[in-house]
Amino acid sequence: MLIAVAAAKGSPGVTTTARVLASVWPQDVVLADCDPAGGDVALLGRGPGGAVLDPDRGLLSLAADARRGLAADALSGHLQYLDGGLPVLVGVSNPDQVTGIGPAWPALAAAFSGLPGTDVVVDCGRVTPGTPVLPVLGAADVLLLVVRARLESYAHLRERLRWLATVHTGAGTGPAVGVVVVTEARDTNAVRALSQLLAHEGLGTPVLGRIAEDRRAADALAGRADHGIGRSLLARSARLLVSPIRELAASHDFAHLRS
Ligand SMILES: Nc1ncnc2c1ncn2[C@@H]1O[C@H](COP(=O)(O)OP(=O)(O)O)[C@@H](O)[C@H]1O
Ligand SMILES: [Mg+2]
């Protein structure tokens, strides 16, 4: 399964959400950093023993190989491992490098979605019209849009959902889209409130759940603190999203088979 994670606007916590989801995912998983604005995994992540990751091995080296065609397991040769064992595809260090990937995006998308027995969580940054990662979104089973629980975030989300409904992302039916709200742990109403708002606007996009605002755990994921996150509110909220994400993907497949 290919799970794309993105934002409509701003910096609501896409990288953090993708990272924590990958770290609690109950199946073999790869975290791929495809943010066209420049990746964070190489900057913030550390390998075993605190080793710095190699910025040249990842998305760019995979894209270079893609010019010669990619085998089904091509991704594995370009992965690095975070301390704790999570396999990551390191992103670009600056946005200029994305231009060079241009024609390779469809092959990269195929490499992500065709990885045998392994799910791939892709950090896609912001989904804006003209984003080069559109082929990845088109190949995704699920697109998770991350928002903060604020009215202005909801307004941008609504516009982006309308735009997504009109865009042709490439082959296939496109991803099943679901929303994830980043909220304070004690805010138990945000999911219901946003669901009602979207329904009221005639948008059937499901709000799958929430990611807890948890500064301590987010700092650990961003390399600003050195402690585990296994029992944190952040990790617990991410675990609760696993089933809704899988169910969304399954219901989308089913609807597609029947149509
Ligand atoms: N769930 C969260 N709880 C607390 N802080 C968060 C959370 N998600 C993100 N942050 C913080 O917000 C900032 C932006 O997060 P990041 O994941 O890099 O966002 P994006 O990828 O959308 O730009 C970072 O400082 C990060 O630590
Ligand atoms: Mg990010």
Q: What angle do CA 140, 78, 243 make, to 5 degrees?
A: 35
* pLDDT tens over the chain, length 259 residues: 999 999 999 999 999 999 999 999 999 999 999 999 999 887 788 898 889 999 999 999 999 999 888 887 899 999 999 999 999 999 999 889 998 899 999 999 999 998 889 999 999 999 998 899 999 999 999 999 999 999 999 999 999 999 998 886 555 678 999 999 999 988 989 999 999 999 999 998 999 999 999 999 999 999 888 889 999 999 999 999 999 999 999 988 766 655 5
Give the CATH fold of the 2-258 domain: Rossmann fold (3.40.50)
Q: How far is the CA of 206 from the centre of ligand 1 (A)?
A: 22
Q: How far is the CA of 133 from the centre of ligand 2 (A)?
A: 14
CB-neighbour burial class of residue 83 (10 A; exposed 0-12, middle 13-18, buried 19+): middle
Residue whose CA lies nearest to ligand 1 atom number 24: 13
Q: How far is the CA of 194 from the centre of ligand 2 (A)?
A: 23
Residue whose CA lies nearest to ligand 1 atom number 26: 218
pTM of the model: 0.96
In the chain, domain spans: 2-258
Residue of 16, 43, 219 to mutate, ligand 1, most atoms within 8 A of C-beta: 16
Contact status, residue 144 vs residue 17, Cβ threshold 8 Å: yes
Q: How far is CA 233 from CA 68, 134, 175, in A?
A: 44, 32, 28
Backbone angles phi, psi at 198, to 5 degrees: -65, -40
Question: Six-digit token pair at 23?
Answer: 């770290």
Closest among 156, 176, 32 to 105, alpha carbons compared: 32
Contact status, residue 67 vs residue 55, Cβ threshold 8 Å: no
Q: How far is the CA of 122 from the centre of ligand 2 (A)?
A: 11
Among positive and negative, which fits the CA dihedral 155, 31, 174, 143?
A: negative
Instruction: Locate all alpha helices (DSSP H) within 167-232, ordered by sequence.
Output: 190-200, 215-221
> pLDDT tens-digit profile of 94-103?
889 998 899 9
Residue 215 CA, closest ligand 1 atom number: 4
In this structure, the chain runs to a length of 259
Q: How far is CA 186 from CA 178, 189, 191, in A?
A: 22, 9, 12
